Each structure stands twice: as structure tokens, then as C-alpha cells.
Amino acid sequence: MKKRRLTRFLFTALIASTALCGCAKKSDGNTKTTAVTKTGTPVTYTALYPREVTTLNYLVTSTILDHRIPANCIDTLVEYDLDGKIKEGLAAEWTYDKAALTWTFKLRDAKWVDHTGAAAADVTAHDFVDAMKYALTPEYESASAQNLFGVIANAQEYYNGLVFNGGADDSGKIWAPIDFSEVGVTAVDDHTLTYTLAAEVPYFLSSLVYVIYMPAYGPQLEELGKSFGTGADKMYYNGAFYLAEFAPQEKQIMKKNTLNYDSDHVFIDVLERIYNAEALTLGPEMIRRGEVDYAELTADILDDWNNNEETKKLISRERPKTDYSQFYCFNFDPQFDASYEPANWKKAVNNENFRQALAAGLNRLKSVSVLEPDSPDTYIINSITPIKFTYNEDGKDYTEFNAIAALGDTYDEAGALKFKAIAIEELSAAGVTFPVKVLMPYNPEIPNWDKESQVVEQQMEALLGADFIDIIIEPGPADNFLTEVRRSGKYAFMKSGWAADYADPETWTDPFYQEKGEGGYKPGYKYSFFAKAIEDNTKTAETVTEYFALVDAAKAIKVDTNSRFEAFAEAEAYLINHALAVPYSIQVSLHLANKLDVFEAQYAPFGVSWMRYKGMTVKDHYISMEEYEANRK
């Protein structure tokens, strides 16, 4: 194979560049080897957690909450160092052909272990093939399978062939069944794995740190089927840790995997996570008593802690992330109770001037101040894509491209009132009654989301008038909030978010975009915000279809990153300028009490790398803000 140098992407402000080279070079890894421990005493890191995972089956989940365990218990082909540079993982080296369509990975020797840490089998290339086949089997209902469509050759054809079995989809396209051997993943031998891509994908290597590309022991998948990942003893592990105990809403115990190929760089022996629904309240008190090593500190106690000399020195923060964007979304397919007048809302939300009024009426600075009173402006973004997320080959930040750079603060009091006046006239003629009820749910388990929602309600109703909108704040279920509320359409206007899956602006189109079929754009990704908007004969359908066309044009540009980024910038600006979504903020860095230096961890602004404990050492004290800033520099 010929080696080929791909476009370089810069992942954070700390990274000079990440070269996706044809063949990886050896890395010396993390050189820190000291753990705070007494001789013979295991190093244990203990934390409370308030929300339980929905599944251990990493091949079917797309929920970030579910990713922490596989991040630490399942190794990927590549991983990242603490500066955000790609390095070897289970793959010792890799090459690709001139067209960058066939990638070949040489696997190192590695072992699967069971939930006791005992060796179970060798890790082979077949485990990657079997895992992908499992994820592409509709029976298992993988929420991540769509991430393979258009990337891995024939992945979508195989999946849809099983779904439609020779029949037609909504667009009229026929999907005939094909054999899995036609899908672009092959085990050449036990230590050689190849991926064949549907087209050149500039970000392919970076996407390999996502759960959908993780391996699983094939014979176990075949034996267990849907039961895979239903308990600690229902899966094998090849990562830095193995899941020794899992008692839902009780505890998660991960132990160091001494058979892992890189165990010399794992400095924690036991990860002890204890469930408590009141963790956000109890955690800080347990920190005071030295009973846990980690706790989140909510905004309502920060002032007291900062004003107390004993607790002030315990405060630090999580590592800033540019992989998660928050935005307010509109629901074009309301499925909430009749008391909230879904039919009335649907008429209103399909009026662009109504959406523009809400978008211009949202004072983001005021609401983000609930979470970050000192510097809320540092978290607000004017685009869906965060600043300093990705760069072109010349080092230019994507958000500096013309169409994105031209976006300003969406908050505009005078503009909001102008949009309101036009919307009232248009909607009154369409039979809409006022005030329009705006159901805005929140997850009660996420700290201060309720307070943030209250600020939004008070501020927007004060500006736009309670005669125009009636924002109704209600708590959703703490468990499965995403599925029960957002995906079920039980909201009108709500803060939502998206985590990047790879280092390219295309990843920020994934929650909105739908592929074009033979009969036009039809729902493809079932969780798309616009899954139903294009089914109705409305002006919104035309607007959304135009957005899809702009995304298609951007996706078609594979090599020239200047043109590719500019095209994606135009599509994103169109989305925002037509108030199909309202940019909000990046995720505010949590205040913590923590015995880990967060800058010792692997880092990438997407995937699971940032959740890994490999390479981190437990200190004999809680990190202070002074230490945090020094470590950050």
C-alpha cells in the first residue's frame, strides 16, 4: 500500500497539529508512574454518581452517560495522549491506500478478560467485524448504527436490506438484502483488520474512538444476543479496567486489568462509583469529611465554599471541553398532552417570524449566568459548532470562516419585538390563539437546570409579553430523560445538546440532517430534530430542505478543507439565520473537588477518550484552583 498524508486537524487551542499519517509511529505514552499508596494497599478512587446508565451494551447506545464504563473497559484501535494527539491503541500501526478508501490496521497481542479479571480469549480482528455486524442488525436497535452509514462501504445497504427485505422505504427506494461479507470491514487474519470506506472520509481515524467502532468478543455476542451487556458477567473486557461489579442504582466497581497490554500506565487499582440520588448534595459534605475523592460543586454552594478558607482550597474545575454544544431547539412534531395545545404550537412553530421572535428574545448571558456567574460570556457561542473545535490544514478555526464569523449575538430586544408584531398578524390569520403555550421541560437530575429555566421564562415573558407566549416549565423524568422527553416529542422549546463524534464540522449537522432518497429528503436518522418537519406541506419544510441541500454540497467536498469548511459554514449559518435552532453555549466547566489532575488524562474533543482514567494518579489532597491553573498551563 502507498502511504498518504491526510489533512491535519487541530483539536484544541493546546494542539499544534494532529497529522493523520499513513503509518503510525511509536509513542512513549504517559511517563508518570507514581501513585499515592501505602505498600501493598490498592489505589482506590471513589466517587458518588446520581444517575444510572441505561445500558452496558456499548454497541447499541448513543447516550454519553452510558459511555464511561466502556471508555475504561474496552480499548479502541487508536487513542489520544494528554495533549490531544492520536496515538496507537489496540492497533500498533496502520496504513491506507492512495485514495484513502481502504485502511489496514495491525493489531497488537491483547486479551479479553471476564468480570473477575481472568483471561477469557485473545482479542482478534474478527471481534471488530462481529461487533459491527451486531450493531448493524436492526433487531438489536442500535442508536449508533447510523454513524456507519455513508462511512463504511455498504453499511447502510446491509442494514436497510434487513429492515426492508427487498421492499421500498418511504422514498420508494428498493433495499434488497445483501450478505454481510459485502460490508467494508474484514478480518484478513487474527491480527489484520481492514475497513473499506464508502467515500473518502477526512475524519475517519478520529472517529475510531467512538463506541460504534469498539470490538466485542464474537462468540459471546452470538451466544447472548440481546442479553449482551445486561450485567457485568454478560460481557468481556480488554481495556485498562474490567467491570467487577455492577448493581444498578447501587454501585459500579471497575478494577485494574493487569492483563491489559498497557497496564504499566494504569495507576489506579479500583474505580469505586457509588450510586446516590442525592449525590450532588451529599458529595460536597463527604468531601469535607474526606470520604470520597470526587464531587461536583453546584453554583448554590460555591460562594460559601469560596468564602471559607478551609473549603476554598478544595475547589478546582473539570477540563474545558469543546466537544459539546448546547442549543435551544424547536419541536415540529409535538406529542405532548392536549392541555399544552400541541395543534396550536405546531401552527406557531412553523411560522419563521414566531421562531425568530423567540430566538431574538433569549438573553443567553442572563441564563448562562446561573451556571457561571463570574464569566458567562466565555461560554456563549454564536454558532452550533464551538470555537476552537477544529481547524483546517492551515490552522484556521472553522468558526472564523466567513458565514460563521458573520453571525452575531442572536439576542436582540428590538428585533424580537418586530418579529413578534409580524408573527401575531400572520398567526392570527392562521387561527392561532394567544398566548402560545410553550412547554419547556428540564431534567431534575442536572444541577441548576431548573433555575436556568426559570430565568429564561421570566426574561422572555417580560420582553415578549405574557400575552404572546406562556412558557411552562416542568420537570421531566430523571431516568431516560432523552428518550422519554426529547425523542418522544414531549416538549415545545427546550435546551438540548450534541457531542461531537469526530473532528470535522460535519459532526454538528448530525442531529439535524437527513439523507436524500430517490423521492426527496425523508426521515433517515430517527432522532433528527427535523424528522417530521419535512413531512408537512409548510414553509418550514422548504427551509429545512434547503438546509439539507447545503449540507449535501458541503459533504461532497472531501479534500479541499478550505472549500469544505466554507460550505459547512454556509449551511450552519442558514440553519441559525432561519431560526431552526438557537445557539446557546458550550458546556460550562463544572466546579469540582477532585484528587485527580484532570490534565493527566487522555484528551480529544469527541469520542470517549476524555472519560478514561488511564494515566491518571490519585493525589493525597484535593486539587486547588492554583494547581489547576498551573497544570492547565
Domain ranges of the chain: 324-586
Task: Give the CB-side neighbour count of residue 528, counting CA atoms within 13 A.
Answer: 23
pLDDT, residue 393, reads: 76
**In whole numbers, what is the pLDDT of the chain averaged over residues?**
89
Please name which of 570, 571, 567, 579 lies closest in space to residue 539, comparing C-alpha atoms.
579
Q: What is the pLDDT of residue 559?
A: 79
pLDDT at 500: 84
- 533: helix, strand or coil: helix
The predicted pLDDT at position 4 comes to: 29
Predicted pLDDT of residue 531: 66
This prediction's pTM: 0.72
Q: What is the pLDDT of residues 394-413, one digit of tens each?
A: 889 999 999 999 999 999 99
**Pairwise pLDDT comparison (82 vs 108), residue with the higher score:** 108
Share of the chain above pLDDT 70, in %: 91
Would you give the end-to-end CA distance of the chain in angstroms? 41
C-alpha angle 339/341/343, rounded to 5°? Answer: 145
Does CATH place domain 324-586 in 3.10.105.10? Answer: yes
3-state secondary structure 191-218: CEEEEEECCCCCCHHHHCCCHHHCCCCH
User: pLDDT for 319-328, tens place per residue?
Assistant: 877 788 999 9
Q: What is the pLDDT of residue 6?
A: 31
Average pLDDT over residues 172-185: 96
Cβ neighbourhood burial of 54 (10 Å; 0-12, 13-18, 19+): middle
At 535 the pLDDT is: 66
